[in-house]
Amino acid sequence: MQEEVLRKLVDDVRAGRTDRRAFVARLAGLGISAPFASLLLASAGVAQAQPAGYKPTRRGGGGALKLLFWQGPTLLNPHFGIGAKDQEGAALFYQSLARYDPDGNLVPVLAAEIPSRANGGIAADGRSTVWKLKKGVRWHDGRPFTADDVAFNFAYATDPTTAATTLAQYEGIAAATRIDADTVRFEFQKPTPLWHRSATVALVPKHLFEAFGGARSRDAPANLRPVGTGPYRFVEFKPGDLVRGEINRDYHAPNRPHFDSVELKGGGDATSAARAVLQTGEYDFAWNLQVEDEVLTRMEASRKGRVVACPSGDVEVIQINHADPQLEVDGERSSPKSRHPILSDGAVREALTLLLDRNSIQRFVYGRAGVATPNFLNNPTRLNSPNVKDEFSIERANAVLDGAGWKRGGDGVRAKDGKKLKLLFQTSINSVRQKVQNIYKQACAKAGIELELKGVTAAVFFSSDIANPDTYGKFLADLQMYAVAGRPPDPSVFMQWFVSWQATGKANKWQGVNRGRWRNDEYDRLFRTSEAELDPVKRTVLLIAMNDLICREHAVIPVVYRPSMYGLARQLVAPLSGWDTALSSVAEWYAEA
Amino acid sequence: MGHYLVRRLLIALPSLVGISVVLFTVLALAPGDPFADMVQNPNVPPEVVMNLRAKFGLDDPVWQRYFRWAWAMLNGNWGFSFISRIDVDKLILGRLPVTLVVIGASQVLALLIALPVGVISAARPYSWFDRIASTFALIGFSLPTFFTGLLLILLFSIKLDWLPFVFRADISATGWEWWRQNILQAIMPVTVLGLLQGASWTRYVRSAMLDVIRLDYVTTARSKGLREYAIIMKHVVRNALIPVVTLVALTMPQVFGGAIVTEQIFRVPGIGSLLIDAILRNDTPVVMAVTFVLSCLVILFNLLADLLYGWLDPRITYR
């Protein structure tokens, strides 16, 4: 897509000629995520859509809100959160400067407004942002929330001895300074378009954590007794089991929250969590329902609750190993220096892409929990379905392989130059993934490609243990499938997956994120340019070009994008966002009478 | 007696050291990673994980980690969980009350079933009552708890909607309402565990009774013309219970260890669910502490059972 076309699209939205949603959907078809598309509009000065109506006209009175998580939070300090469950637990009490709404717009929480070029919040040189804080916000202990707190969180998290997991979100920030009590400035090490990454870090109070920075971080009493700014005050915490809160009468937004108390129960399994909300109505909300859609649909028949699928950035992909997993170079297999003997042939990669029947996988395996996608960076909406249908074709795959000189042998398996078209396809053990593996294996067999399937226990597959050969980081197979999980508000985190300097291997202790070891000079150049490109329109053009390059070169085979699945009681109204933690919007939740 | 006790305790020490070494090695060799969640999260850079691994000493050789753990344990420091960064003893103490109540209640239920049913069955062997009781006992200990648990949930929670199937350690109601809610939510887990344990104990009680009931002194008592009730209660049951008491004492550590599967099904926040969570996340300090405490309890109760045996049966002496 050309820059002028994109500028015209943005102008159309600004002039009211195009609907905002249509614009987001159009960009999604090009592989641009919803938050990014919204950001593009915001930077062009297009007013944000008004948030969906919040009906309650007074604070409290909603009774108890009962949340069921099949993994309970094990810690409540947002800077230590190991998994999504911990971020969720902390989100009941702590808040961030801003959060993402269901459409991927950044909306202010503790900030008075979202910085933009128009309001002077974003410096023209891209070297700093200024956040104006909401006035009159108080911590649960009555102390005022100020710019000092924001600056402190930066210092706390970026001290390496604190061992904070939020470190990455502050990456590239040189300093956070207080300008006055309600204004704080973030300065970047170099001009960056990624000014918003730190906006969603939940903030902890300076006066309670100041004495416990660095190596003493584990001793802070407030780790177990959070004092935040959120809609609920802390009552009780039992790690892995229970978190309880009561209404915060001093909450900084009017008429909120609706519920008088909140209880988050953890443990058990996803299926019975769904049952407790959808079938028996014991709970109001079930988190992250990784349950087969067929089962969920049957439970919904009881009409006590419903399942909500929130669009997010998670994509399930089949990763192609561009290095040779058999050859040993400098004492390691799959060395970034080697080239795969079969998969370096573009025709084979193209055939593999053509052989993935995404529509059947969506229909018969994932249901609502997975939407077929041909793009790596994607959030396709049904309004603008990309050309997925004609993607699956065994005939074309056969034709491509014939054309490239891969001849069928007596056993039906193709070969060329003495190399047989046999590939090892690994993934983590999970009933859904094994089904997809089998569907793919059958389609490949019809095109003369023999797939050997391998399943690895999830605990091993996703381990950071460098001594283990079966991890996805080592990738000692030809193909592997897993989900790119997490909620990157900006695609560049994902895009690092294909830059040559991130190629994983012995040299960087297998910590690089380019696990397919794909290398492409054109791509590297585009990425470098996008890192320094401040004009959002130009940057979007670059990102689209990068996505197209990955797809054209078949560097990776996207399978489905995976929305976050939640179970809600019938009366519960919750503006859930797949781009943020589910509970980041908990202040806005209410029950309809 | 005193000598015996000292000798037994001294023998226990090397076994404890052995147990801890084996546990630690197995855990260290087991694949997996406490920070796997983070590795998958694209927002957490690999350096953070490396930093945490280094900080928690996960990259040191196994023997170094073992001695660090053993030394800390000797000093009464149980370490802290890698996952929640909370002290392990706090985590265990938080889970203990629920475990004691739920598992304890199920053991009491098991005894209440096993004693009368076993005694009556043995008093009238091969009667209709005995046949029916034996059949049920067989079914009872053949059915795994995950099956009976799900069956009960299906029947009482989903079809009939009588009982809640999510166990809450924290009920905000007070007075009678508190008791009512607590009893309602405990019915299913306690029944599932109690029936399983009760079924096997019933068989033990019955066979122990049958062993005794054939002995000559019982025939003598009968020929004296004593009432059947007095014979069974005073002469048979008391002697038959000796092996049963040992058996019950040996299952006591379970009360502290919790029931992994049942706790998971009903979301009972007990030690069993703490252990399984810790194992799944490779949270070594928690797994070590829980399993080590359990092994200590097993050794302790073994000793207790042996001492109890001598007290119940004076013919046994200790040297």
Mark yes or no for CB contact A462/B52 under 8 Å: no
Q: B residues 222-261 near A, CB within 8 Å?
A: none
Residue of A nearest to B59 (CA): A465
Collapsed DSSP state (helix, strand, coil) of residue A157:
helix
Q: How far is CA A387 from CA A36, A390, A391, B252, in A?
A: 22, 7, 7, 64
Nearest-CA distance from A166 to chain B in Å?
Answer: 7
Helix or strand holding residue A317 (H, E)? strand A315-320
**What distance, in Å, lies between the first and last C-alpha atoms of chain A?**
48
Q: Which residue has the tokens 């046949």?
A: B131
Q: How many CA atoms lie within 13 A of A152 on its CB side?
A: 17
Contacts of B39 in chain A (CB under 8 A): 462-464, 473
Residue of B nearest to A78 (CA): B84
What integer pLDDT is reported at residue A478 of this predicted model?
94
Nearest-CA distance from B140 to chain A in Å?
Answer: 24
In angstroms, the CA A42 to CA A337 distance is 43
Nearest-CA distance from B38 to chain A in Å?
Answer: 6
Mark yes or no for CB contact B166/A164 under 8 Å: no
Residue of A nearest to B269 (CA): A241
Collapsed DSSP state (helix, strand, coil) of residue A43:
helix
Alpha helix (H) ranges present in A393-482?
A: 394-403, 431-446, 458-461
Q: Give me the residue from A266, A459, A488 closest to B43, CB to CB.
A: A488
Q: What percent of chain B clears pLDDT 90, i.e. is strictly above it?
A: 13
- Name residues whose C-beta falls within 8 Å of residue A32's C-beta, 6 or more positions apart in sequence: A377, A491, A540, A543, A544, A547
C-beta neighbour count of B257 within 10 angstroms = 21
What pTM was computed for the model?
Answer: 0.82
Instruction: Please name the amino acid found at residue A2.
Output: Q
Mean pLDDT of B129-138: 92
B264 to chain A, any CB pair closer than 8 A? The answer is: yes
What integer pLDDT is reported at residue A436 of this predicted model?
92
C-beta neighbour count of B212 within 10 angstroms = 20
Answer for the pair A262, A250: CB distance below 8 angstroms, yes or no. Answer: no
Alpha carbon A210 to chain centroid, angstroms: 31
Question: Among A86-100, A119-133, B69-83, B207-221, which is the least confidently predicted range?
Answer: B69-83
Q: How many CA atoms lie within 13 A of B289 on its CB side?
A: 25
In this predicted structure, the answer to whether residue B281 has a pLDDT above a threshold of 50 is yes
- Specify the higher pLDDT residue, A550 or B312: A550
Interface confidence: ipTM more than 0.90? no
Q: What share of chain A is helix, strand, coil (3-state, %, to 5)?
A: 35, 20, 45
What integer pLDDT is reported at residue A388 of this predicted model?
40
What integer pLDDT is reported at residue A52 of this predicted model?
58
Residue of A nearest to B160 (CA): A280
Collapsed DSSP state (helix, strand, coil) of residue A590:
strand
Q: Between β-strands A332-333 and A242-247, what pairing exists: parallel, antiparallel or unpaired? A: unpaired
Contacts of A511 in chain B (CB under 8 A): 46-47, 49-50
Cis peptide bond N-terminal to A257, omega within 30: yes
In angstroms, the CA A191 to CA B133 distance is 80
Answer for the pair B198, B140: CB distance below 8 angstroms, yes or no. Answer: yes
In this predicted structure, the answer to whether residue B145 has a pLDDT above a threshold of 90 is no
B160-205 pLDDT per residue, tens: 888 888 888 777 777 888 888 888 888 999 999 998 889 989 999 9
Contacts of B86 in chain A (CB under 8 A): 74-75, 223-224, 239
Structure tokens of B188? 């299913």
What integer pLDDT is reported at residue A532 of this predicted model?
82
Residues A156, A162, A167, A170, Cα dihedral to 10°: 20
Mark yes or no for CB contact B39/A163 under 8 Å: no
Collapsed DSSP state (helix, strand, coil) of residue A121:
coil
Nearest-CA distance from B2 to chain A in Å?
Answer: 43
- Residue A211 DSSP one-character state: G
In angstroms, the CA A63 to CA A572 distance is 12
Nearest-CA distance from A464 to chain B in Å?
Answer: 6
What integer pLDDT is reported at residue B135 of this predicted model?
92
Nearest-CA distance from B145 to chain A in Å?
Answer: 15
| pLDDT tens, chain A, 593 aa long | 567 777 777 777 777 777 777 777 677 666 666 767 776 776 666 655 555 578 888 898 889 999 999 888 888 999 988 778 888 999 999 999 999 888 778 889 999 999 988 888 888 888 999 999 999 999 999 999 999 999 999 999 988 888 788 888 888 899 999 999 999 999 999 888 888 888 889 999 999 999 887 778 888 888 889 999 999 999 999 888 889 999 999 999 988 899 999 999 988 888 889 999 998 888 999 998 888 888 899 999 988 899 998 887 788 889 999 999 988 888 888 888 888 999 999 899 989 989 999 888 888 888 888 888 777 765 433 323 343 444 788 888 999 999 998 998 888 899 988 889 999 999 988 888 999 999 999 999 999 999 999 998 877 787 767 778 888 888 999 999 988 765 556 777 778 888 998 888 888 778 788 888 999 999 999 999 988 888 877 887 788 788 878 888 888 888 888 888 999 999 999 999 888 889 999 999 999 87
In this predicted structure, the answer to whether residue B19 has a pLDDT above a threshold of 80 is yes
Mark yes or no for CB contact B33/A465 under 8 Å: yes
Q: Give me the residue from B31, B42, B86 closest to A488, CB to CB.
A: B42
In angstroms, the CA A536 to CA A32 distance is 12
Nearest-CA distance from A404 to chain B in Å?
Answer: 37
B89 to chain A, any CB pair closer than 8 A? The answer is: no
B163-173 pLDDT per residue, tens: 888 888 777 77
- Specify the higher pLDDT residue, B45 or A153: A153
What integer pLDDT is reported at residue A156 of this predicted model?
92
In this predicted structure, the answer to whether residue B225 has a pLDDT above a threshold of 70 is yes
Provide the number of CB pairs (under 8 Å) joining chain A to chain B: 160
For the CA atoms of chain A, what is the radius of gyration? 25
Mark yes or no for CB contact A269/B264 under 8 Å: yes
List the single best residue of B53, B170, B265, B267 to mutate versus A (max A Cβ within 10 A).
B267
In angstroms, the CA A44 to CA A193 distance is 14
B267 to chain A, any CB pair closer than 8 A? The answer is: yes
Structure tokens of A429? 């053990």
What integer pLDDT is reported at residue A103 of this predicted model?
78
What integer pLDDT is reported at residue A497 of this predicted model?
85
What integer pLDDT is reported at residue B41 of this predicted model?
67
3-state SS record for A229-293: CCCEEEEEEECCCEEEEEECCCCCCCCCCCCCEEEEEECCCHHHHHHHHHCCCCCCEECCCCCCH
Contacts of B28 in chain A (CB under 8 A): none
Least Cα distance to A164 among B65, B21, B38 occurs for B38
Contacts of A502 in chain B (CB under 8 A): none
Q: B residues 165-204 near A, CB within 8 Å?
A: 165-166, 168-170, 172
Mean pLDDT of B251-255: 81
